[in-house]
Amino acid sequence: MSDDTGEPEVELEARLEEQETFEPPESFVEQANVSDPDVYEEFEENWPDCWERAADLLSWDEEYDTVLEDGDAPFYEWFTGGELNASYNCLDRHVEEGAKNRAAIKWEGELGETRTYTYGDLLNEVEAFAAALRDLGVEEDDVVTLYMPMIPELPIAMLACARIGAPHSVVFAGFSADALATRMNSADSEYLVTCDGYYRRGDALNHKEKADKGLRGVENDVQTVVVDRLGDELTHFLGADAHDYGELVAEHEGASVEPVSRDAEDMLFLMYTSGTTGEPKGVKHTTGGYLAYTAWTSHAVLDVKPEDTYWCTADIGWITGHSYIVYGPLALGTTTMMYEGTPDYPEKDRLWDLVEKNRVDTFYTAPTAIRSFMKWGTEYPERHDLSSLRLLGTVGEPINPRAWKWYYKHIGDEECPIVDTWWQTETGGMMITTLPAINEMKPGSAGPPLPGGMMITTLPAINEMKPGSAGPPLPGVDARVVDANGDEVEAGQAGYVTVNNPWPGMLRTLYQNDERFIEEYWTEYSDEEADEWVYFPEDGAKIDEDDYITILGRVDDVINVSGHRLGTMEIESAVVGVEGIAEAAVVGGDHDVKGEAVYVYAIPEDGYEDRHAELEEKAMEAVLDSIGPIARPEEIVFTPELPKTRSGKIMRRLLENIASGDELGDTSTLRNPEIVDEIADQVAGD
């Protein structure tokens, strides 16, 4: 017998199979950064001042006056009056405190070359590049676009921007030229830092070509800096206006660049993400609240310590990498790892080899990766000594209990707590997760009488993890599961996640689009008249009797492919742009490893009915061109019609069921029920 991941059932011991709750080992709890169960109560009683605890992890140039300014909600402001610099907080202060020679970034290229930057090295290069950016004309508040893969120059450029108060907008290197152009235009960005190429499964990919193509679609005159990653492998081509990163840094070596004091509410960066419409949303994060929040959650949830080697396997091109490879860990002065390549190159034990070699303490990854590891088998982690690991984490999508248990046993050796962290680009940092060394107290649940008859009213914390459930909201976060009216659902029921009070890491707005900010996040459950603002993340969830929240997935037109957030409308608009395709619907279907996969249903125009192969190729190309390989459809199905309601709405739910191989249910209310079986047969026939 095998399960959804193809792993034989016998692989997991029966004991583990049946176990529903897990407690962290005593040894972990004893050394944890946050282990006092009172933290929940403290945060609740002192809210919003509790967040000073996060702000205290930072060094401020100017102390803030007010923790939370809510006069213009939902345009909340945090730590107002405060001034600080993110680059100073991530670099200088550690050097000043004697950590100059501690490794800040440990990097490994796909071909095996390694680079270690100490805090001293990193500061020097960040200052040199910051000076270079200034010389190129970058001024405070200019948006600098960074289009780079997992090479150290990416965090260096981010910190150099932060140093001079220029917000960065990182565009994931796997995104297409068109996606780069859209984001640069939207941010009105005049500067681009990119590279010649990088390695994937041993091949040198030409990245510069893609960047150049993107630049042709950018309205501004752009100054470009190119990092030479590949040396001679690819021609390190510099256009007339492009500058060589290496030369710039060499010219400015030894430069001293004062970190600019930024207002707590000044923008630190922009990050584009997908939403319901085709237009990506420019999520704006600020300097004080974001940095305090990522530092605090790195401290409390990831248990990061300066002496650790910490590894988050995300790509810095996504929010997880921003918050938990760069800003959170570096603010805490730890050693953060970066790996350039894929986990199965040259062999499927690459990540475990890295864990062993670097004695990694904390490993934070996505469920999709765990499902791949499961599929590959236990022999790969078994080749390595993983005993340095102390804590494991997951992020990005729901984790199925079997994958959780596999991770727990085969990577953590049943010795590491797992934090399943729910959050979003918009939230800046983690929102719902167990704290690894404590769990929420259970208010109201009277404990057993103590010897002598004395009663206690609250049970001491039991540090339970429940596979598949992210856990309770973090201290100070008021996340709930509500029904369509905004009323909390009963334990065991499903509903929608809401966040009913603000938090420091929250997005402040959508870049230059306050209206859309309100519309997207603050309309569904807020009561504007009563000035009651409720954040709606557009996720479905269930809650249990212990207030543990199990995330069920997006309830909007966003799908989650391998932990990557994609808008179905963006894909649809690429497909309908193909000549010969009249209409298309894009949905997510269940996928063993990716979680969800992209399914396209398309109607050919008259005259194109017999040209499916040609249309498929063009549609595929269109998706790759407008978004990139991450959005590559699993299947493109051609059909003369799409299932529609009598009022003419496409029944997406039905198309999702077809893609997932689920029961189709009642189709009798459709205008064209006969088309459903026809489509289902086509999908099943492959």
Site residues (vs ligand PRX, CB under 6 A): 273, 319-320, 395-398, 420-425, 470, 537, 539, 551, 553-554, 560, 565
Residue 580 exposure: Cα atoms within 13 Å on the Cβ side: 15
| Closest to ligand PRX by CB, 83 or 596 | 596
Q: Compare residues 373 and 638 and give the one whose CB is closer to ligand PRX.
A: 373
Report, in Å, the least distance between residue 630 CB and ligand PRX.
Answer: 11
Nearest-approach distance from CB 104 to ligand PRX, in angstroms: 23
DSSP three-state, residue 87: helix
**Separation of alpha carbons 217 and 258, rounded Å:** 35
**Least CB distance from residue 427 to ligand PRX, whole Å?**
8
Cis preceding linkage at 346, omega within 30: yes
Under 8 Å between Cβ of 663 and 657 = yes
Rounded Cα distance, 670 and 612, in Å: 26
Beta pairing class for 581-591 and 595-604: antiparallel
Distance in Å, CB of 477 to ligand PRX, minimum? 14
Q: How far is the CB of 537 from ligand PRX (least distance, A)?
A: 5
Q: How far is the CB of 123 from ligand PRX (least distance, A)?
A: 29
Nearer to ligand PRX, 187 or 419 (CB): 419
The CB-of-324 to ligand PRX minimum distance in angstroms stands at: 9
Query: What backbone torsions phi and psi does residue 411 show, to the nearest 5 degrees?
Result: -105, -45
Closer to ligand PRX by CB, 349 or 426: give it.
426
| Residues 6 or more apart in contact with residue 597 via CB below 8 angstroms | 561, 588, 589, 590, 591, 633, 634, 635, 659
Q: Which two tokens stand for residue 140?
A: 């405070």
The least distance separating ligand PRX from the CB of residue 92, rounded to whole angstroms, comes to 29
CA distance 455 to 586: 58
Those residues whose C-beta lies under 8 Å from the C-beta of residue 70, and which sit 6 or more positions away, are 76, 502
Q: Token pair for residue 507?
A: 């997005």
Tokens of 545: 């009797």
Which one, 176 or 433, has the nearer CB to ligand PRX?
Answer: 433
C-beta of 124 vs 424, nearer to ligand PRX: 424
- Comparison of 259 and 429: residue with beta carbon closer to ligand PRX: 429
Considering the complex, state which of residue 372 and residue 469 has its C-beta at the smaller distance from ligand PRX.
469
8 A C-beta contact, residue 518 and residue 531: no
Q: What is the identity of the amino acid at 89?
A: N
Least CB distance from residue 475 to ligand PRX, whole Å?
18
Q: Does residue 431 contact residue 423 with C-beta atoms inside 8 Å? A: yes
- Residues 171-207 as b/e (b if ≥16 CB within 10 A, e otherwise) read bbbbbbbbbbbbbbebbebbbbbbbbbbbeeeebbbb
CA distance 392 to 429: 17
Query: 179 or 226: whose CB is closer to ligand PRX?
Result: 179
Q: Can you say whether the dihedral through the CA atoms of 59, 60, 63, 65 is positive or negative?
A: negative
CB nearer to ligand PRX: pick between 74 and 537: 537
Least spacing, CB of residue 273 vs ligand PRX, in Å: 5
Cis status, amide bond into 74, omega within 30 of 0: yes
Question: For tokens 């199965």, what's the residue?
Answer: 344
d(CA 418, CA 403) in angstroms, rounded, equals 12
Nearest to ligand PRX of 138, 171 (CB atom): 171
Q: How far is the CB of 39 from ligand PRX (least distance, A)?
A: 21
Give the DSSP H or E segment for 107.
Answer: strand 103-108
Backbone phi and psi for residue 15, each to the nearest 5 degrees, phi listed first = -60, -45
Please identify, using beta-carbon distances, which residue of 87 and 336 lies nearer to ligand PRX. 336
Give whichever of 274 and 626 is closer to ligand PRX, judged by the CB atom.
274
Enumerate helices (H) and strands (E) in the chain, giving the number of each: 23, 30
Residue 551 CB, shortest distance to ligand PRX, in Å, is 4
Residue with tokens 């070699």: 357
Nearest to 147, CA basis, from 118, 174, 187: 174
Least gap, CB of 170 to ligand PRX (angstroms): 13
